[in-house]
A and B are shown apart, each in its own frame.
Chain A
Amino acid sequence: MRRSAALKMLFHDRATALGSIAGVVAIIFLVGQQLSIFFGLLNFTSVLVDNSGADIWIKTRNTDNINAARTIPIAYRDRIMGVRGIEWAEPIVVGAGLLKLKNGDYLAVQVFGTRRLRLIGGPSRFYAGSLEGLLDGEGVTVDRLDLELLDYPSVGDIFEVNDKRVRVRGITQNMRGFNGTILYTNLEKARELVKMPADRCSSLLIKVQDSTNVKDMVLLLKQILPKADAVSSKELSRQTKLYYLQNTGIGFSFGFTTLVGALVGVVIIALTMYTNVISKTRDYAVLRALGARRRDVFYIVFMQSMYIAAIGILVGFTLLSLFLTFTKDTDLPSYMPWWVPPIHAIGTVLLCILGSLIAMRRAVRIEPATAFR
């Protein structure tokens, strides 16, 4: 009865109730879309690792960002292949390139070379063409998100990268990196484009036969290759994301806008909930005179804030899911890890309570004598 009365008292003043709900929606949506873009961008930073299909990476020591790794001797591969439990070890070449656009301008790209015939680490999602296009000596891929920038090339079109000819053999689907377009190609073409000698490579990708044994294999490979660094793909992905988080402004930038979004929501909730309590002062005074204790009045306002939170979260997440749906496969990176929405919802409930605190404080201070004035 008290719960339904709380709900009815809340919605009796629709404008303030909707205002409070708007505050919760603002928190869910503004913070949620900032977080989704943040995680989308973070995913871009580690796309090379996450997409590699490898269990372990061998790279230069003291490099915690795979996009900036130096080179290692390709001969390491022979040593690795001699280790029991290794399924395959494949070299890759990563470097920078300048792609000449049709209008004469240049576009900075990241070149990623993968060895024929396996093409390990190559792109997995295609909008047009296929991975086999990289078997072509001058074959490269461009990403669908960059089509406008590249003046809508088709499969078969020719470009120049670092003054060398390349031919578009595939258009990838959302395989963009944090630094922009990733131009996937074969190892030989990549060496030619970034001028890397034949006895060097950027990293070695390793697949182990028993995927439960990755940790032990990492330790073993560190012993075998003391001048290089062996790291699991999972750890490298984490390190790379952390590197960008610490060394670029995205952490602060998104943290700040997230904070502002939350703050705006809390202020809206606080103002509207307070207004609601003020407009219902006599109702609460009457309840107090009838025998309600302070905590009974608190309970009613608390339940109101819970209703606001529940409705706002429902509406907010509906809007957020629409946002995620509409931004999927667009050049706006948006990605929501599964564990974020529950934390976001709990955080929002806490912020809703925080926003309602002033109103609750005001409500419990209403004296029953007010009913007689």
Chain B
Amino acid sequence: MQEVKSDPVIRLEGVARDFFDGKQLRRVLQKTDLDIYPGEFSIISGPSGSGKTTLLTIMALILSPSEGSVLVQGNDVAGLTEDSLAALRLRYYGFVFQNAALISALTVMENILIASVVQGGSVSKKVRERAEAILERLGLMEYAHTKSEGLSGGQKQRVAIGRALINEPMIILCDEPTSALDVESSTIVMETLKEISRENRGVILVSHDPRVFPYGDRLIQLEDGSIITDTGS
């Protein structure tokens, strides 16, 4: 029986991106069509310079494509203002960056909560309870009031996952989250992300580490700005 997929959370239609390298215009991402579905763990891989990060930042609404359309929840984001794109990121997206990129001046709890109030306002009781539940789930409750700089790499990355979850996003974008981690920490992080994708969230992970491939439902491989393999299509 054929699996029926829900509507994609992100759809790229003929998206391409050019950069001016100082001498000439260079196409770093060829025309690409891609659908990302909720509940799907997609891994984007490829050698350095293949266009992984360009593709990720276009999906993150941070980089605008030179050609084509990006649709989030079925809505074309072309022409939206920078503030509207920021509002979409806040509402639908969670991010896990390379080396966690936590704010070292803040505690674990503050790092998670700041993601809910970046546009102002105060932290509601509900959000605080959600943060506590996330920390509990990630096994980090005892570090809630510890400065993030005092944590190990694996713990930091789990806090970053917690930060990505606080706004209950539809999509979580991960940029090389295991690149600086040992095998044990990588395994914990990948299993956590896999678990999160099962909660009907689309998880997209960029990595060139083949050890993470088995965790994905879908492997998208890029080379010279083009998708050469997509196990999900």
**Residues of chain A whose beta carbon lies under 8 Å from any beta carbon of chain B:** 1-2, 4-5, 8-9, 11-12, 282-283, 286-294, 296, 299, 367-369, 371-372
Contact = CB atoms under 8 A, between A and B. Distances in A.
A11 B105 contact: yes
Contacts, number: 87
Contact of B86 (A9, A283, A288, A372): A288
Given A290-B115, A296-B120, A5 B95 contact: no
Interface residues of B, number: 34
Contacts of B114: 1-2, 5, 287, 290
B180 interface: no
Given A291-B86, A299-B120, 18 more contacts: A1-B123, A5-B103, A8-B110, A9-B103, A12-B105, A283-B101, A289-B97, A291-B89, A291-B91, A291-B93, A291-B115, A291-B118, A291-B119, A294-B82, A296-B118, A369-B63, A371-B97, A372-B97
A286 B89 contact: no
B72 interface: no
Contact of B101 (A2, A286, A293, A294): A286
For the complex of A and B, 5 pairs with smallest distance between CB atoms: A291-B90, A12-B105, A292-B118, A8-B105, A291-B89
Interface stretch (B2-10, B21-29, B54-62, B136-144): B54-62
B120 A2 contact: yes
Nearest to B60: A289
B192 interface: no
A296 B175 CA distance: 24
Contacts of A294: 82
A323 to B, nearest CB: 34
B159 to A, nearest CB: 13
A9 B105 contact: yes
B161 to A, nearest CB: 14
Nearest to A291: B90
A5 B110 contact: yes
A155 B93 CA distance: 87
A292 B114 CA distance: 10
Nearest to A299: B120
A350 to B, nearest CB: 24
Interface string B174-196: 01000000000000000000000
A306 to B, nearest CB: 16
Contacts of B106: 5, 8-9
Interface string B70-92: 00000000000011001101110
A73 B105 CA distance: 78
Interface of B: 53, 56-57, 60, 62-63, 82-83, 86-87, 89-91, 93, 95, 97-98, 101, 103-106, 110, 113-115, 117-120, 122-123, 163, 175
Given A1-B123, A12-B104, A299-B120, A369 B89 contact: no
A372 B57 contact: yes
B57 A369 contact: yes
Nearest to B81: A293
Contacts of B123: 1
A287 B120 CA distance: 12
A292 B86 contact: yes
A292 B62 CA distance: 12
A5 B104 CA distance: 11
Nearest to B163: A290
Nearest to B149: A12
A12 B106 CA distance: 9
A333 B101 CA distance: 55
A20 to B, nearest CB: 15
Most buried by B among A1, A286, A290, A294: A290
B196 to A, nearest CB: 17
B62 A293 contact: no
Contacts of A2: 114, 117-118, 120
A304 to B, nearest CB: 11
A194 to B, nearest CB: 71
A369 B120 contact: no
A283 B102 CA distance: 7
